[in-house]
Amino acid sequence: MLWAFCILVSLLVTRVTTWVYKWRNPKCRGKLPPGSMGIPLLGETISFFKPYTNSDIQPFIKERVVKYGPIFETSLVGIPVIVATDPDFSYFVLNQEGQCFKNWYPDTFTEIFGKQNLATLHGFLYKYLKHMILSLFGHESRKKMLPEIEQNVCKKLELWSTQNSIELKDSTASLILDRTTKKLMGHSPGNSSENLKECFAAFIDGLISFPINIPGTAYHKCLKGRERAMKMLRDMLQERYEKPRENPSDFFDYVIEELNKEGTPLTEEIALDLMFVLVFASFETTSFSLTLAIKFLSDDPSILKRLTEEHEAILRNREDADSGLTWKEYKSMTYTFQCINETARLANLAPAIFRKALVDTQYEGYLIPAGWTVMVCPPAIHLNPEIYEDPLVFNPSRWEGSKYTNASKTFMAFGGGMRFCIGTDFSKLQMAVFLHSLVTKYRWEEISGGNVRRSPGLQFPNGYHVKLKKKEV
pTM of the model: 0.88
Residue 305 phi/psi, 5-degree rounding, is -60, -45
Q: Which residues face 431 on adjacent strands?
A: none
Region 111-119: mean pLDDT is: 76
Instruction: State yes or no: pLDDT of 23 exceeds 50.
Output: no
Determine what percent of the chain falls in helix, strand and coil, rounding each to the nearest 5: 55, 10, 35
- Give the model confidence (pLDDT) of 309-364 as tens digits: 999 999 999 888 778 899 999 999 999 999 999 999 999 988 899 999 999 999 99
Domain assignments of the chain as residue spans, ordered by start: 29-470
| Structure confidence at residue 381 as a pLDDT band (50, 70, 90) | very high
* Spatial separation of the C-alpha atoms in residues 132 and 359, rounded to whole Å: 31
What local confidence, expressed as pLDDT, does residue 25 receive? 56
Supply angle C-alpha 395, 400, 404, rounded to 5. Answer: 100
What local confidence, expressed as pLDDT, does residue 193 receive? 59
Give the residue with greater pLDDT, 88 vs 455.
88
What local confidence, expressed as pLDDT, does residue 408 receive? 85
* H or E element that contains 242: helix 218-242
Instruction: State yes or no: pLDDT of 248 exceeds 90.
Output: no
* Spatial separation of the C-alpha atoms in residues 237 and 185, rounded to whole Å: 8
One-character DSSP codes across 109-170: HHHHH-TTSGGG--HHHHHHHHHHHHHHHSHHHHHHHHHHHHHHHHHHHHHHTTSS-EEHHH
Give the residue with greater pLDDT, 292 vs 125.
292
DSSP structural state of residue 373? E
Region 382-401: mean pLDDT is: 95
| Structure confidence at residue 187 as a pLDDT band (50, 70, 90) | low
Instruction: State yes or no: pLDDT of 232 exceeds 70.
Output: yes
Question: What are the C-alpha distances in Å from 51 to residues 141, 217, 453, 454?
Answer: 40, 15, 7, 5
What local confidence, expressed as pLDDT, does residue 16 receive? 45
- Give the model confidence (pLDDT) of 30-71 as tens digits: 789 999 888 887 888 889 988 888 889 999 999 999 999 999
Task: For the chain, give the percent of residues with pLDDT over 70.
Answer: 86
* Spatial separation of the C-alpha atoms in residues 288 and 348, rounded to whole Å: 10
Query: Could you tell me which residues come within 8 angstroms of residue 389 by beta carbon, excluding any fewer than 6 positions away?
Result: 398
Least confident of 55-59, 241-245, 290-294, 427-431: 241-245
| Structure confidence at residue 436 as a pLDDT band (50, 70, 90) | very high
- Give the model confidence (pLDDT) of 188-202 as tens digits: 555 555 667 676 665
What local confidence, expressed as pLDDT, does residue 3 receive? 56
What local confidence, expressed as pLDDT, does residue 12 receive? 54
290: closest CA among 176, 200, 184? 176
Classify burial at 188, counting beta carbons within 10 Å of its beta carbon; exposed 0-12, middle 13-18, buried 19 or more.
Answer: exposed
Region 251-260: mean pLDDT is: 82
What local confidence, expressed as pLDDT, does residue 20 receive? 45
What is the CB neighbour count within 10 angstroms for residue 82?
26
Task: Indicate the residue type of 432.
Answer: A
What local confidence, expressed as pLDDT, does residue 369 receive? 93
What local confidence, expressed as pLDDT, does residue 433 receive? 97
* Spatial separation of the C-alpha atoms in residues 126 and 137, rounded to whole Å: 16
One-character DSSP codes across 40-103: TTTBTHHHHT--B-SSSS-HHHHHHHHHH-SEEEEEETTEEEEEE--HHHHHHHHT-BTTTEEE
What local confidence, expressed as pLDDT, does residue 19 receive? 41
Give the residue with greater pLDDT, 89 vs 401.
89
Q: Output the average pLDDT for the chain.
A: 85
* Spatial separation of the C-alpha atoms in residues 392 and 386, rounded to whole Å: 12
Question: What are the C-alpha distances in Å from 138 to residues 5, 184, 352, 426, 427?
Answer: 72, 14, 26, 8, 12
Region 121-127: mean pLDDT is: 78
| Structure confidence at residue 10 as a pLDDT band (50, 70, 90) | low
Give the residue with greater pLDDT, 126 vs 154.
154
Region 141-159: mean pLDDT is: 93
29-470 fold: Cytochrome p450 (1.10.630)
What local confidence, expressed as pLDDT, does residue 424 receive? 87
Instruction: State yes or no: pLDDT of 449 exceeds 70.
Output: yes
**446 touches 298 (CB < 8 A):** yes
CA 75 centroid distance within chain: 23
Q: Which residues face 468 on adjacent strands?
A: 444
